[in-house]
């Protein structure tokens, strides 16, 4: 094997955010002995519902449930539930938002914390650490940001629909990764890493669009509070402060400050993600040198406590052994990467709570012949569909191909242009953040209904086209 020669692209895939776990894979192989057909079916579903990365299955189920509920007679009660005010008060100070708004402001930032850590990891130890491997997704992502907006404005410019330009900027990482996982057996390592790198940069574009295009006002007091909290987090990191409680409290202050400033709280999520360390405090080689003597001392003390007949001496030896165990425990923890640990902690909550709740509270598309007709003849809906399904793959492919022809970038190892085209098609799955930005651009009414339906149609089309493109790729050879 020559995995070490595949540069950071392959290294990124060995991080714990990828695919289903080894235990789940083993369980899948065991099921095949009992029911091969059942095992094959469950294997197809696994990337959407299992694994240590953000998965799209629960979000997909929640989407169907939301669409069903808003199109049944219970739709009025269903929407009133999510519009129920939730008031937080402390003395004279009160903050009141609907349940749906609290989900957007308080829960969705958790998803962006993971995005922030992902971006930092790719820049620091992943696929974006070297220019020759980083340039390709960077250039492609630039095209995937610029071309969709240009196409959108070419269709909707000069109309009230133009305010929705941000809807076509960003892609849905969870759904895209789940689709790629369906074809993992035939794809080389670089495809997933390339998609993740592209998605990370694409997400930055979406966050900038939210911050500067859809924030109504700006309060300096909140920004100052967030800035001070960020400065204190940086100071504690420089002091090598280990305890997590101060970081959690300061992260909460960052969220409060951004929320008070008028900039959407999702920005707080990505800022907090950028502050999380992605390297261990202690290198493993240094760990081995540091703990070897303590291991010997532990063995000696443990043996003495076991064999001595003197209770006082045994108590002293046992205390010495516990002391050495505490040292070893703390040093072992120092070899962990805080970013990975945080992602592993948040990922199940994001996959099974945050994103499904976002879909349930935000998707309010009343499917009717009138809506379908008005959307089909709507400038806004047409601009969104063209921007996502055409603009995303066209921008990604065009910019990266021109840069490659000019010698500025090169394709990652084992990745060809068919795979790049498939990534571009999957980028048209806007969904989560596109729906979110649609709600910011059009707070309610018919425009929001048309925009949401267009995002849904675009995501289905892009996902289907991307899956067909991936299905044409032959199985990658195993070395």
What are the backbone dihedrals phi and psi of residue 88, each rounded to the nearest 5 degrees, phi first?
Answer: -110, 125
Residues 6+ apart with CB under 8 A from 34: none
pLDDT for res 191: 81
21 close to 52: Cβ distance less than 8 angstroms: yes
Q: How far is CA 231 from the centre of its chain?
A: 25
What are the backbone dihedrals phi and psi of residue 219, each rounded to the nearest 5 degrees, phi first?
Answer: -110, 120
pLDDT for res 41: 53
> What is the chain's mean pLDDT, rounded?
82
167 close to 198: Cβ distance less than 8 angstroms: no
How confident is the model over 335-355, as pLDDT tens digits?
877 788 888 888 889 889 998
Angle value at C-alpha 189, between 185 and 195, nearest 5 degrees:
105
In the numeric block, which tokens belong to residue 5? 């020669």
How confident is the model over 437-475, as pLDDT tens digits?
898 888 877 888 899 999 999 999 999 999 999 888 876
Q: At what angle do helices 189-213 and 431-441 cross, to 10 degrees?
A: 10
Evaluate the CA torsion angle 267, 270, 272, 274 in order and state its sign. negative
Q: Which H, E and C letters describe 187-256, residue by residue?
A: CCHHHHHHHHHHHHHHHHHHHHHHHHHCCCCCCHHHHHHHHHHHHHHHHHHHCCCCCCHHHHHHHHHHHH
How confident is the model over 11-28, as pLDDT tens digits?
333 333 344 555 555 665
459 close to 388: Cβ distance less than 8 angstroms: yes
In the numeric block, which tokens belong to residue 279? 């390297």
Beta-carbon neighbour count of residue 325 at 10 Å?
14
Whole-number Å distance between alpha carbons of 137 and 196? 9
pLDDT for res 315: 87
Is pLDDT of 50 > 70? Answer: no
First to last CA, the chain: 7
**β-bridge partners, 86:** 97
Q: What is the pTM of this model?
A: 0.74
Average pLDDT rounded to a whole number, residues 76-104: 87
Percent of the chain surpassing pLDDT 70: 86
If residue 10 lies in a helix (H) or strand (E), which one and from where to where? helix 7-13
Using alpha carbons, list the distances in angstroms from residue 392 to 195, 410, 412. Answer: 13, 20, 20
In the numeric block, which tokens belong to residue 121? 């990891």
């Amino acid at each position: 094997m020559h995995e070490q020669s595949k540069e950071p692209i392959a290294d990124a895939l060995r991080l714990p955010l990828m695919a289903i776990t080894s235990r789940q894979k083993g369980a899948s192989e065991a099921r095949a002995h009992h029911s091969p057909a059942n095992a094959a079916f469950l294997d197809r579903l696994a990337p959407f519902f299992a694994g240590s990365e953000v998965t799209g299955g629960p979000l997909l189920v929640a989407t169907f449930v939301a669409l069903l509920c808003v199109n049944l007679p219970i739709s009025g009660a269903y929407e009133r539930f999510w519009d129920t005010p939730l008031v937080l008060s402390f003395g004279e100070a009160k903050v009141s938002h609907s349940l749906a708004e609290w989900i957007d402001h308080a829960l969705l930032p958790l998803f962006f914390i993971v995005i922030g850590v992902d971006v930092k990891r790719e820049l620091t130890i992943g696929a974006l650490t070297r220019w020759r491997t980083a340039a390709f997704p960077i250039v492609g992502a630039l095209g995937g940001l610029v071309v969709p907006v240009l196409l959108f404005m070419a269709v909707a410019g000069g109309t009230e629909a133009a305010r929705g330009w941000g809807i076509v900027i960003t892609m849905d990482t969870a759904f895209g990764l789940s689709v790629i996982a369906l074809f993992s057996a035939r794809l080389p390592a670089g495809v997933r890493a390339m998609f993740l790198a592209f998605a990370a940069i694409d997400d930055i574009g979406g966050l900038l669009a939210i911050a500067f295009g859809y924030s109504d006002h700006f309060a300096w007091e909140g920004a100052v509070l967030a800035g001070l909290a960020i400065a204190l987090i940086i100071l504690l990191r420089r002091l090598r402060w280990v305890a997590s409680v101060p970081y959690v409290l300061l992260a909460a202050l960052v969220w409060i400050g951004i929320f008070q400033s008028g900039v959407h709280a999702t920005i707080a999520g990505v800022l907090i993600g950028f502050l999380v360390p992605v390297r261990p405090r202690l290198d493993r080689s240094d760990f081995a040198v540091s703990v070897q003597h303590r291991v010997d001392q532990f063995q000696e003390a443990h043996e003495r406590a076991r064999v001595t007949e003197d209770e006082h001496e045994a108590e002293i030896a046992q205390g010495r052994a516990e002391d050495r165990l505490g040292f070893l425990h703390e040093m072992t923890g120092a070899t962990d990467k805080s970013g990975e640990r945080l992602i592993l902690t948040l990922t199940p909550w994001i996959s099974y709570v945050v994103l499904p709740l976002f879909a349930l509270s935000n998707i309010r598309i009343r499917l009717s012949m009138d809506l379908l007709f008005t959307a089909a003849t709507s400038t806004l809906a047409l601009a969104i569909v063209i921007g996502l399904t055409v603009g995303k793959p066209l921008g990604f492919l065009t910019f990266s191909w021109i840069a490659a022809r000019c010698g500025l970038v090169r394709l990652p190892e084992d990745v060809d242009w068919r795979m790049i085209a498939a990534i571009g098609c999957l980028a048209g799955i806007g969904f989560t953040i596109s729906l979110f930005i649609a709600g910011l651009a059009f707070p309610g009414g018919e425009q929001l209904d048309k925009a949401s339906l267009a995002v849904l149609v675009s995501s289905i089309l892009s996902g289907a086209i991307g899956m067909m493109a991936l299905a044409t790729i032959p199985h990658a050879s195993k070395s």
